[in-house]
Amino acid sequence: MTSTSPPPAPATERLPLRERKKLRTRQALVDTALRMFTERGFDATTLDELCEAVEVSKRTFFRTFASKEDVALAPVQDLWHAVLDDLSTRLPDGRPVLHQLQDTMLATVGRMAADGWTERLRASRRLISQVPAVEAHSLHFCNRTSRAAIAILRQRLALPDPGDPRPRLALGMLLTAVDCALDAWASRPGPATRTGLAADLRAAFAAIPDGLTLTAGPAGPGPR
Amino acid sequence: MTSTSPPPAPATERLPLRERKKLRTRQALVDTALRMFTERGFDATTLDELCEAVEVSKRTFFRTFASKEDVALAPVQDLWHAVLDDLSTRLPDGRPVLHQLQDTMLATVGRMAADGWTERLRASRRLISQVPAVEAHSLHFCNRTSRAAIAILRQRLALPDPGDPRPRLALGMLLTAVDCALDAWASRPGPATRTGLAADLRAAFAAIPDGLTLTAGPAGPGPR
DNA sequence: AGGCTTGTGCCACTCAGTGGCACAACAGAG
DNA sequence: CTCTGTTGTGCCACTGAGTGGCACAAGCCT
């Protein structure tokens, strides 16, 4: 993973000029990309155009992001990086792994600090819904993230051996629920709020056990 | 989805010459691609080389497949297309949706008819594990497939409204389990068998509820 | 201030992917 | 069997994401 997520805002002032400039460039690329991709379309916006708007070379773009999709996904990736960070430091308790993961997710959302993060996250998630290449890239990133989460958990918990599918299944449930929540939240008109996202996440997490037991009768003959 | 999966083998002889030639070309591209990608690497094999080996133009390649990844994924996609076909015709019963989906999956595996399908499926799944671009593409395809499955189910069952996350969660569980099973099966040395795949699928399906409840104590201080 | 390290832009290039078009091959009717 | 219409193929030129090399600029540290 080439993208580097920004460190917490308060520590930024202590970084050398070089680092600060890099972060500024990164942020300018993300903000401009989200704006241009949203206004004119992902495929219709070339990297040449994006780099000209930000006044950096394409070479610099690729030093900052691994791909065109990566810049579109940066806000989502930043969120998941923060989740993994939290998971790395969080004390495990005796509850089911899935519940611990859910709490980590909610705690991270409660702690996101970057100015405007919710608007950027929403724009990013909307691109996922609208652009096949971005969606594919996002799914791949989430898959890698779930593997990283399992690796972190493996250091802290006595997880079953790597051939056992249960940790993967637990992470899969979490990811599907988070995706449903993000989709619902990002689709909603009005301001993108932290509390709205947390509510959507809680609702999706609560629905997970029902995925196991959902039954449905035959479709009725009535109008649909 | 540009790729067209081959019809059941016995009906092939009734097709016009044009159709038969197209299927032959498609199969030659799949077989040669799997071989070349496996021997020398996906990224190290260019489409020019593949098309020269099969003696078709690149233009024809792109009339047959939507992308380079698609040809690598063809066997996996063929399997899922068959699953969706089965789902379209299967009579719904009153059991949980997830169980019905599992049975559909197993029935389809029991019914796959193309010569050598297991070896091709295994080669394809191995490329998914080894090549990031193929894995991303596969995840995206499976995501689209789960949406298609929900659409099919929606016509036959009184599923909850589209905003309800439970059908997505059920499909997510199925897909994660199938992926675990395919991964385990494809990683195994020796012949790729139908019964081996069915066994792996059954084991993964049985593990799904445990994903909900999995608990793990703190990692021990022992050597790891 | 000077020397070293790191970052940037420029350039040439590759390769997946696209669209247009002339010609070839097939299908079906008479 | 012939003829005509339909469909498929290959060729060609091109685009844009992505890559690697290298000279020079900018920052850092003594």
Mean pLDDT of B141-150: 97
* Alpha-helical regions (H) of A90-165: 97-111, 117-130, 132-156
- Protein residue with the closest CA to the C1' atom of nucleotide C8: A60
Contact A193, B201 (CB under 8 A): no
Q: CA A86 to CA A101: how far, in whole Å?
A: 10
Are residues B73 and B60 located together in one domain of the fold? no
For residue B162, what pLDDT is reported? 86
Do A106 and A204 lie in one domain? The reply is yes
Q: Select from A158, A163, A208 the Cβ nearest to the Cβ of B217.
A: A158
Kindly report the nearest CA distance between residue B131 and chain A, in angstroms: 11
ipTM entry: 0.92
Instruction: Summarize chain B as % helix, strand, coil (round to 5).
Output: 75, 0, 25
B32 and B116 co-located in one domain = no
Residue B132 maps to a domain: yes
What per-residue confidence (pLDDT) applies to B220? Answer: 67
A72 in any annotated domain: yes
Residues B38 and B60 in one domain: yes
Among B42, B65, B88, give the residue marking a domain's end. B65
Q: What is the pLDDT of residues B149-168, one digit of tens each?
A: 999 999 888 888 888 999 99
The tokens of B107 are what? Answer: 């029935």
d(CA B61, CA B29): 8
**Residue closest to A126 by CA, chosen among A192, A223, A201:** A192
Nucleotide with C1' nearest the A48 CA: D16
Beta bridge partners of A92: none
Percent of chain B with pLDDT over 90: 81
Closest by Cβ to B207, choosing from A136, A166, A209: A166
Note down pLDDT in tens along chain A; length 224 residues: 444 454 444 455 678 999 999 999 999 999 999 999 999 999 999 999 999 999 999 999 999 999 999 999 999 999 999 999 999 998 888 899 999 999 999 999 999 998 999 999 999 999 999 999 999 999 999 999 999 999 999 988 888 888 899 999 999 999 999 999 999 999 999 999 999 999 999 999 999 999 999 998 887 665 44
DSSP annotation of B198 reads H
Boundaries of domain holding A60: 14-65
- If one counts the domains in chain A, the total is 2
- Residue B210's closest chain A neighbor by CA? A166
| A122 plus A42 within the same structural domain | no
Q: Are residues A26 and A52 in the same domain?
A: yes
Residues B59 and B166 in one domain: no
CATH number of the domain residue A203 falls in: 1.10.357.10
At residue A89, the pLDDT reads 92
- Asked if B209 lies within 8 A of A210 by C-beta distance, the reply is no
Whether residue B6 lies inside any domain: the answer is no
pLDDT tens per residue across span A158-217: 888 888 999 999 999 999 999 999 999 999 999 999 999 999 999 999 999 999 999 988
Residue B123 lies in a domain: yes
Residue B116: what pLDDT? Answer: 95
d(CA A49, C1' D13) / Å: 23
* B77 & B173 share domain: yes
Strand C closer than 7 A to residue B47 Cβ: yes
The CATH number given to whatever domain includes residue A54 is 1.10.10.60
- Which of B153, B154, B219 is opposite residue A158, by nearest beta carbon? B219
Å between B59 CA and D13 C1'? Answer: 13
Q: Is residue A4 part of a domain?
A: no
Same domain for A129 and A32 = no
pTM reported for the whole predicted model: 0.93
Residue B157 inside a domain? The answer is: yes
